[in-house]
């Protein structure tokens, strides 16, 4: 692949890769947006994604069904979301430590399960992963077609989730309660809203989406489960929520921005510019930190974030 | 009494840890009446009403609404039974609009979708019917305190309540706003709604109530119809003895020399709005300058600037010859400022540290408490022992977490820490809020003692009685400006004039 | 639907014996829960735990190997604990460890003409500084610019690990073996072995000194008081005259430096060159050790030894029983959660199933 830097093919390929790489970030970040809007920082997200990646892979590996894999990955995320809710909402434990505990536990459990189920063969087993789904007619539009309408099914789901999340948060009674609970749980409680129920729901959504996001790695992006396959994307999602100011539509743009950094790395590896590929792998993390520095002062965190709610 | 009972609470008991907040209380609300729950802070009024509103679970007792026995486990249950409550600390979501706050928690006629059109129409009806003017699309943080209270009341009305509980509704209002509120309440009464009015202010209770129930230390000490009682009797029932005015001796410092001089001080509040509009005043040696005014008129920002946690945008503060504005808290403490902050739990103390550390936290880095990089805990503990004896701080030991002390004792810890350094100047903000009478008197006594020993004191308090009882001069603040200073060595205080100044309706020339 | 039927009620602080016993109970409960995952594989958890113990303290050799593991765990435990006391959420001990390792390898590979004690001191100092810088950056960002420390410290881990990887696959690649590992460090830069016929090295002594240092810092110094105050309530601490910004920056530097020392020990005491996968997650284990040790110096020491036993023993058990050694990570995650839940009992009584 010695495509020139300035050719159209290069840019179409780059933008298509951007959308693809943004997919897990869009999904996970939307989930995290729900969690944080309800007042809970879900640091378990990385572990939930790793476990989702594994659950999706193993299910598909044994059943040959990709969609069953997607389902099981999502359900596994929901299960960990429930655990996170139990720890931080019911038991009112520290959200920081609970989330880290879940990440360590879930990632450990994922690798443990993988070893137990697969062993450690020299060549990791593979599945037949999702191939891209060409949207009839639309994919033939020049430039736009290959970028937007020749993607994985999960990518389409991720993009559709953006308006859905916006609708849920801004137009429904659940969304209004969610925003109130994350901002002022005492007030929400006084208005008869069940703070616990809203936070549980938000964390189940966050967990489910984290699991789904993880499945993207093993069922679409790659066709196998690798150690550290998620590689800190969960933490990037946490940063993205701040970047997006807890607004779903901005999540899309933020995720595409970070997807593009990932994609640049992929593209430049094939060009004449000789930089160790690890430098490209580093880029998203460096950019995330820079972005955090730039927006830290103006971020409007949900006021109740990190604060457990205890009724007297 | 022939009137219909709407709510009846029987033998209500509620304890927090070892503290009995409600001890077998009986309380009735009749249709179309305004009943006051009168009592001091901590008497159990709010607790009782939070039980009725489903925010607290009672330990024992029974509640009847419209003659039927009910279990109220959440505010939702209470609202369904027609009971609404306006809390002392508003339960509004700052980042949502008025309209969103009003429909918060209600089912929508459109199922899971919010129905703003319908809500807007009903809201307009309520606004017009009761004259509760407010912009439905404003975000809560943009509203004044009075407007926020209106939103709270609208919220309750939107839910078709029959019983409205108001918890200290006048604490944050100007006298004029109070009048408006009372007008609205009388309309409700005319419509057959019942109102429970929680207060510790005798005059208000006498003005608005039909019936008054008095609580003290978690028990009912009396019930009176308004016609058959007077303020004196109520005060006795509330406090347990006749109210005694604190005796203010003449100050021992005769020459008047300014100690703290504030010149043209301007500062912003947390929302970056101008909260202090270039004020100037001074506090003399050996006097207490009381600051009267409704909360939110710049007192908090003044306190913050003097304490060193808010940088002014212009102006100066001098303590003797030293400029203190813009300096760090540590430097300000070193220059001889004693600080008793409004927010004692969140600023004045670190509740999770042991008591002995809180007793020295403002000067732990000075000898003999530390040397070089090291801390001398032996001398700190010795000092702490001395202070708890001297200031009669009730605690199991000096090693306990500070959190375990009661409110009054927590304030004594701050007082002991501050006074032990014999500060030249003391700023005391709401020094007795939420304390029982004993602790309150003790703190007043100590402040007067410090004044008699020559300290200058700036006393910021929402409790007008406290300001009147302690101050040598009274300064009134309104919207970040000084409305006037009353020098009590030269004139008597005219309460009506004071009220008008607090409401911004009258301004004096400040000399 | 029935929502939480668990109620929390405030209580008075529990007796001291309960507080001391808490970590022990937490360990016991977490092993019980972990046993489920062994049972699922159709293996006997008792046998598994027996082999874990056998493989870590069952023989003198195993015991010494356990001590080799304990050294970096104690250091990362101390590093995280002092940071957490100040509520500086240093999740970046892993990256700081690699920073220290990288610096130690760099100095060690220079083959400077220095006597052993001087060279070792130099390696330690430079490794400390490297870790300190890697932690000081997020510390500074948190204190001065209010940038979320959890995220920055986490992301800095990835940046450092990729940096190490880039070096090992590029300029530092061993020219002889062509493996992605650096050339060996100078003989004089290597830590002495402190127990004959074992791999137990000077790093263990450093780690014990770190425990002493932590005790001294927290209990006897002004900085210790300042970080406790800052951690307990930053806005009150600031109001009361404590320079919270300085406290956080200083503690972030010390914390990162100590984590860096763990990396120095791995390079100068164990491997003698920089390799990928130098740490099997010591930095993350440090978080669990700090919490299990209740942010207390002696507690951290004991917790680190406990996890050294688990991690080392799990390897042995894995080989003997064919249970994946990742069970050690599972145990760590569960222990963290259980310990956290146990701490709740200090403040609350838990009542189950009274509401409907």
| B55, B93, B113 member nearest A184 (Cβ) | B93
Tell me the residue length of chain C: 356
Averaged pLDDT for residues A106-135: 93
Q: Does the pLDDT of residue B332 top 50, yes or no?
A: yes
CA–CA separation, C331 and A104 (whole Å) = 9
Q: Judge whether B32 lies within some domain.
A: yes
Residue B247 domain flag: no
Domain identity same for B55 and B175: yes
Our CA-based measurement puts residue A60 at a distance from the nearest CA of chain C, in whole angstroms, of: 21
- Predicted pLDDT at C1: 43
pLDDT in tens, C86-117: 999 999 999 999 999 999 999 999 999 999 99
pLDDT at C155 over 80: yes
Q: Which residue of B has its CA nearest to A181?
A: B93
In a domain, A311, yes or no: no
Domain count along chain A: 1
In the predicted structure, residue B378 carries a pLDDT above the cut 50: yes
Task: Tell me, yes or no, whether A187 lies in a domain.
Answer: yes
Inter-chain CB proximity B362 and C238 less than 8 Å: no
- A51, A97, A88, A60: which is closest to A210 by C-alpha? A51
Give SS3 for B490. coil
User: Using one digit for the tens of pLDDT, what is the confidence trace for B70-115?
Assistant: 999 988 899 999 999 998 888 899 999 999 999 998 999 998 999 9
- Phi, psi torsion values for A144, nearest 5 degrees: -65, -45
Q: How far apart are CA A40 and CA B102, in angstroms?
A: 25
Tell me, yes or no, whether B261 and B118 share the same domain: no
ipTM of the complex: 0.92
- The answer to whether position A221 is within a domain reads yes
User: Is B244 domain-assigned?
Assistant: no
* CB within 8 Å of chain C, chain A residues 126-165: none
Residue spans of the domains in chain C: they are 4-354
Query: What residues of C are in contact with residue A310 (Cβ under 8 Å)?
Result: 8
The Cβ of residue C225 has, within 10 Å, a number of other Cβ atoms equal to 27
Mean per-residue pLDDT, A141-161? 93
pLDDT band at B3 (very low <50, low <70, confident <90, very high): confident
The partner residue sitting opposite C151, judged by closest CB among A94, A98, A235, is: A235
Are C155 and A239 within 8 A, CB to CB? yes
Which chain A residues have any C-beta within 8 angstroms of a chain B C-beta?
Answer: 171-177, 179-180, 183-184, 186-194, 300, 303, 311-312
How close, in Å, is residue A64 to chain C by CA atoms? 23
Rounded Cα distance between B495 and A265, Å, is: 75
Residue of C nearest to B310 (CA): C239
Question: Is C334 touching A (CB cutoff 8 A)?
Answer: yes
* Cβ–Cβ gap C341/A93 under 8 Å: yes
In a domain, A308, yes or no: no
pLDDT digits (tens, 9 = 90+) for B123-159: 999 999 888 889 999 999 888 888 899 999 999 999 9
**Pair (B351, B447) in one structural domain:** no
Task: Tell me which of B182, B212, B239 is where a domain ends.
Answer: B239
Q: Which residues in chain C have Cβ-Cβ distances shorter than 8 Å to A108?
A: 326-333
Q: Are B267 and B275 in contact (CB under 8 A)?
A: yes
Cα–Cα dist C71/C289, whole Å:
13
**Which residues 265-294 in chain C show a CB within 8 A of chain A?**
284, 287-288, 291
Residues of B in Cβ contact (< 8 Å) with C229: 350, 353, 357, 361
Mean pLDDT of C306-333: 94
- As a whole number of angstroms, the distance between CA B139 and CA B136 comes to 8
Closest CA in chain B for residue A182: B93
Distance separating alpha carbons of residues B431 and B447, to the nearest angstrom = 10
**Which strand (E) or helix (H) includes residue A198?**
helix A195-216
List CB contacts of C83: < 8 A, sequence separation 6 or more.
C89, C90, C135, C251, C252, C255
Residue B257 resides in a domain: yes
- Say if residues C102 and C130 touch (Cβ distance below 8 Å): yes
Residues B170 and B106 in one domain: yes
Of C151, C135, C34, C43, which Cα lies nearest the Cα of C86?
A: C135
Quick check: is A92 in a domain?
yes
| B242 pLDDT above the threshold of 50 | no
Domain edge (last residue) among B239, B272, B299:
B239
Question: CA–CA distance from A243 to each of A237, B389, C137, C147, C166 (Å)?
Answer: 9, 54, 20, 12, 29
> Counting Cβ atoms within 10 Å, is residue B78 exposed (0-12), middle (13-18) or buried (19+)?
buried
Q: Cβ contacts (< 8 Å) between A98 and chain C: which residues?
A: 337, 340
| Both structure tokens of A114 | 């993988």
A248 in any annotated domain: yes
Q: Which residue range(s) make up the domain with B178?
A: 5-239
User: Which domain range does residue A161 map to?
Assistant: 9-130+150-298
Mean pLDDT of C206-222: 97
Q: Does B401 touch chain A (CB under 8 A)?
A: no
Answer yes or no: do B267 and B413 share one domain.
no
* Residues of chain A positioned with their CB less than 8 A from the CB of B92: 184, 187
Count of domains for chain B: 3
Contact B95 A188 (CB under 8 A): no
Considering the entire predicted model, what is its pTM? 0.88
Report the pLDDT value the prediction gives residue A265, as an integer from 0 to 100: 75
CB contact under 8 A, B104 and A191: yes
Residue B194 is predicted with a pLDDT of 96
Do B456 and B409 share a domain, yes or no? no
Do B29 and B60 lie in a common domain?
Answer: yes
Chain A hits for B74, CB-CB cut-off 8 Å, are 189, 192, 194
Cα of B179 to nearest chain A Cα, Å? 27
Q: Which of A36, A96, A100, A286 to mutate to test the interface with C (most CBs of C within 10 A)?
A: A100
Is A200's Cβ below 8 Å from some Cβ in C? yes
The pLDDT assigned to B18 comes to 65
In angstroms, the separation between the Cα of residue C193 and the nearest Cα of chain A is 33
Chain-chain contact of A171 with B113 (C-beta, under 8 angstroms) = yes
How close is the nearest chain C Cα to the Cα of B445, in Å? 25
Give mean pLDDT, residues B283-304: 90
Position C132 scores a pLDDT of: 98
pLDDT at C16: 80
Q: Is B155 on the interface with A (CB under 8 A)?
A: yes
Query: C-chain residues within 8 Å CB-CB of B364?
Result: 222, 225
Domain CATH code at residue B445? 3.40.50.300
Closest Cβ opposite residue B353 in set C232, C235, C243: C232
Does residue B373 sit at the C interface (CB-CB below 8 Å)?
yes
- Mutation target to probe the A interface, by most A beta carbons within 10 A, among C162, C314, C339, C354 is C162
Contact criterion met (CB below 8 Å) for B320 and B257: no
Q: Which residue of C has its CA nearest to B329?
A: C241
Question: Is residue B246 a part of any domain in this protein?
Answer: no
What's the token pair of residue C57?
């303290």
**Interface touch A112/C37, C-beta < 8 Å:** yes
DSSP string covering C173-241 = S-TTT-SSBPPPPPGGGSPPBSSTTS--BTHHHHHHHHHHHHHHHHHHBHHHHHHHHHHH-HHHHHHTT
CATH second-level architecture of C4-354?
Orthogonal Bundle (1.10)
Read off the pLDDT of each residue in B289-304 and give the average, rounded to a whole number. 89
Statement to judge: residues B100 and B206 lie in one domain = yes
**B23 and B167 belong to one structural domain:** yes
d(CA A204, CA B332): 50
The gap from C-alpha B37 to its chain's centroid, in whole angstroms, comes to: 17
Structure token pair of residue C334: 């569960």
Does C240 contact chain A (CB < 8 Å)?
A: no
- Say if A309 falls within a structural domain: no
**CATH code, domain with A237:** 1.10.3470
pLDDT recorded at residue B122: 95
Query: Rounded mean pLDDT of chain C?
Result: 93
Interface contact C4, partner A, CB < 8 A: yes
- pLDDT value for B505: 72
Closest chain A residue by Cα to residue B101: A180
Q: Does B392 touch chain C (CB under 8 A)?
A: no
B255 falls in which pLDDT band (50, 70, 90)? Answer: low
Instruction: Please name the residue of chain B whose CA is at the shortest distance from the CA of residue A167.
Output: B113
Packing angle of the helix pair A153-171, A8-37 (nearest 10 deg): 40
- Strand, coil or helix: what is B375? strand
| B509 in a structural domain | yes
Considering only B28-32, B176-180, C7-11, which range has the smallest mean pLDDT? Answer: C7-11
Find chain A residues with C-beta within 8 A of C1's C-beta. Answer: 197
| pLDDT greater than 60 at residue C159 | yes
Most B CBs within 10 Å, among C10, C217, C234, C239, to test the B interface: C239
Q: Which residues pair with B459 in a beta bridge?
A: B290, B428
pLDDT at B436 over 90: no
Q: What would the mean pLDDT of B233-260 be, rounded to a whole number?
A: 66
> B457: which strand partners?
B288, B426
User: Which residues, numbered 151 to 170 in chain C, qualify as contacts with chain A under a Cβ-Cβ cut-off of 8 Å?
Assistant: 151-152, 154-159, 162-163, 165-166, 169-170
Task: Assess if residue A139 is contained within a domain.
Answer: no
- Asked which of B214, B239, B264 is the last residue of a domain, the reply is B239
Question: Lowest-confidence range among A206-215, A262-271, C264-273?
Answer: A262-271
Binary contact (B362, C241; C-beta < 8 A):
yes
């Amino acid at each position: 692949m010695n495509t020139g830097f300035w050719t159209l093919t290069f840019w179409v390929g780059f933008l298509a890769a951007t959308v693809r790489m943004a997919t897990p970030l869009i999904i996970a970040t939307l989930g995290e947006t729900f969690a944080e809007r309800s007042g809970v920082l879900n640091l378990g997200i990385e572990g939930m994604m790793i476990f989702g990646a594994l659950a999706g892979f193993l299910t598909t590996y044994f059943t040959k069904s990709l969609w069953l894999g997607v389902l099981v990955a999502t359900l596994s995320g929901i299960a960990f979301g429930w655990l996170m809710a139990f720890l931080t909402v019911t038991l009112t434990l520290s959200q920081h430590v609970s989330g880290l505990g879940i990440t360590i536990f879930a990632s450990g459990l994922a690798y443990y399960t993988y070893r137990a189920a697969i062993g450690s063969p020299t060549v990791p087993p593979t599945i037949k992963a999702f191939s891209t789904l060409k949207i009839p007619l639309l994919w033939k539009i020049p430039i736009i077609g290959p970028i937007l309408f020749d993607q994985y099914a999960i990518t389409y789901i991720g993009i559709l989730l953006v308006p859905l999340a916006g609708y849920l948060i801004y137009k429904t009674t659940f969304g209004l309660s969610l925003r109130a609970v994350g901002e002022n749980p005492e007030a929400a409680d006084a208005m008869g809203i069940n703070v616990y129920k809203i936070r549980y729901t938000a964390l189940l959504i966050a967990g489910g989406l984290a699991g789904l996001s993880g499945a993207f790695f093993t069922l679409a992006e790659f066709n196998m489960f690798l150690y550290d396959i998620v590689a800190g994307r969960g933490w990037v999602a946490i940063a993205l929520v701040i970047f997006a100011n807890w607004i779903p539509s901005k999540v899309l743009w933020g995720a595409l921005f970070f997807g593009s950094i990932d994609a640049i790395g992929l593209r430049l590896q094939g060009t004449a510019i000789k930089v160790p590929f690890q430098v490209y792998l580093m880029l998203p993390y460096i950019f995330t930190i820079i972005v955090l520095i730039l927006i830290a002062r103006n971020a409007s965190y949900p006021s109740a974030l990190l604060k457990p709610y205890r009724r007297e | 009494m022939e009137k219909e009972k709407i709510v009846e609470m029987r033998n209500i008991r509620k304890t927090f840890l070892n503290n009995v907040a409600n001890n077998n209380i009986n309380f009735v609300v009749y249709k179309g009446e305004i009943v006051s729950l009168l009592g001091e802070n901590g008497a159990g009024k709010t607790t009782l009403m939070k039980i009725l509103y489903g925010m607290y679970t009672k330990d024992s007792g029974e509640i009847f609404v419209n003659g039927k026995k009910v279990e109220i486990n959440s505010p939702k249950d209470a609202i369904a039974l027609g009971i609404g409550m306006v809390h002392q600390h508003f339960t509004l979501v700052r980042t949502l609009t008025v309209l969103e706050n009003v429909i918060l928690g209600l089912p929508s006629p459109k199922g899971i979708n919010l129905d703003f059109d319908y809500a807007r129409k009903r809201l307009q009806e309520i606004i017009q019917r009761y004259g509760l003017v407010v912009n439905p699309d404003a975000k809560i943080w943009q509203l004044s305190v009075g407007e926020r209270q209106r939103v709270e009341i609208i919220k309750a009305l939107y839910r078709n309540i029959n019983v409205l509980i108001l918890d200290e509704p006048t604490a944050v209002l100007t006298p004029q706003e109070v009048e408006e509120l009372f007008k609205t309440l009388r309309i409700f009464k005319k419509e057959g709604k019942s109102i429970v009015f929680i207060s510790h202010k005798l005059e208000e209770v006498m003005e608005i109530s039909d019936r008054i129930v008095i609580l003290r230390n978690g028990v009912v000490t009396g019930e009176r119809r308004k016609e058959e009682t007077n303020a004196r009797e109520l005060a006795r029932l509330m406090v347990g003895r006749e109210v005694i005015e604190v005796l203010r001796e003449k100050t021992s410092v005769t020459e008047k020399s300014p100690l703290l001089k504030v010149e043209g001080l301007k500062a912003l509040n947390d929302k970056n709005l101008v909260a202090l509009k270039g004020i100037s005043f001074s506090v003399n040696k050996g006097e207490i300058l009381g600051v009267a005014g409704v909360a939110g008129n710049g007192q908090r920002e003044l306190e913050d600037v003097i304490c060193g946690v808010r940088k002014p945008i212009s102006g100066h503060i001098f303590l003797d010859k030293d400029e203190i504005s813009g300096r760090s808290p540590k430097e300000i403490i070193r220059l001889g400022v004693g600080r008793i902050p409004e927010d004692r739990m969140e600023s004045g103390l670190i509740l999770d540290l042991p008591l002995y550390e809180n007793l020295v936290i403002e000067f732990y880095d000075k000898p003999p408490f530390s040397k070089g990089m090291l801390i001398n805990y032996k001398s700190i503990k010795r000092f702490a022992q001395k202070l708890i004896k001297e200031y009669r701080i009730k605690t199991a030991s000096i090693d306990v977490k500070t959190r375990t002390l009661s409110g009054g004792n927590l304030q004594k810890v701050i007082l002991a820490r501050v006074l032990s350094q014999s500060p030249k100047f003391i700023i005391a903000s709401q020094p007795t809020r939420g304390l029982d009478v004993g602790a309150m008197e003790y703190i007043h006594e100590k402040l007067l003692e410090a004044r008699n020993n020559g300290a200058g004191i700036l006393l910021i308090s929402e409790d007008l009685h406290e300001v009147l009882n302690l101050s040598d001069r009274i300064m009134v603040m309104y919207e970040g400006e000084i409305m006037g200073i009353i020098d009590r060595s030269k004139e008597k205080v005219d309460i009506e004039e004071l009220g008008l100044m607090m409401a911004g309706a009258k301004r004096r020339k400040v000399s | 639907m029935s929502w939480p039927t668990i109620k929390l009620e405030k209580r008075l602080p529990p007796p001291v014996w309960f507080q001391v016993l808490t970590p022990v109970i937490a360990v016991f409960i977490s092993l019980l829960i972990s046993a489920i995952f062994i049972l699922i594989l159709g293996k006997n958890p008792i046998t598994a735990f027996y082999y874990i113990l056998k493989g870590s303290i069952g023989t003198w050799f195993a015991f010494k190997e356990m001590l080799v593991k304990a050294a970096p765990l104690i250091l990362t435990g101390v590093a995280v604990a002092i940071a957490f006391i100040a509520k500086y959420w240093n999740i970046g001990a892993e990256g700081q460890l690699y920073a220290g390792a990288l610096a130690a390898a760099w100095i060690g590979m220079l083959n400077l003409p220095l006597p052993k004690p001087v060279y070792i001191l130099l390696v330690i100092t430079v490794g400390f500084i490297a870790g300190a810088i890697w932690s000081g950056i997020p510390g500074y960002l948190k204190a001065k610019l209010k940038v979320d420390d959890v995220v920055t410290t986490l992301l800095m881990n990835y940046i450092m690990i990729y940096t190490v990887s880039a070096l090992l696959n590029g300029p530092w690649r061993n020219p002889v073996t062509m493996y992605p590992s650096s050339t060996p460090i100078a003989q004089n830069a290597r830590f002495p072995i402190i127990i004959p016929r074992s791999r137990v090295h000077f790093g263990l002594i450093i780690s014990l000194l770190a425990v002493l240092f932590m005790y001294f810092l927290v209990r006897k110094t002004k900085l210790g008081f300042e970080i406790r105050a800052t951690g307990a309530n930053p806005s009150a601490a600031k109001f009361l005259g404590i320079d919270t910004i300085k406290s956080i920056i200083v503690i972030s530097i010390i914390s990162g430096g100590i984590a860096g020392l763990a990396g120095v020990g791995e390079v100068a005491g164990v491997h003698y060159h920089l390799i990928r996968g130098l740490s099997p997650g010591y930095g993350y284990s440090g978080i669990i050790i700090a919490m299990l040790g209740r942010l207390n110096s002696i507690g951290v020491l004991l917790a680190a030894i406990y996890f050294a036993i688990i991690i080392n023993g799990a390897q042995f058990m894995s080989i003997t029983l064919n249970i994946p050694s990742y069970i050690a990570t599972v145990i760590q995650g569960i222990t963290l959660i259980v310990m956290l839940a146990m701490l709740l009992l200090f403040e609350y009584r838990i009542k189950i199933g009274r509401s409907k």
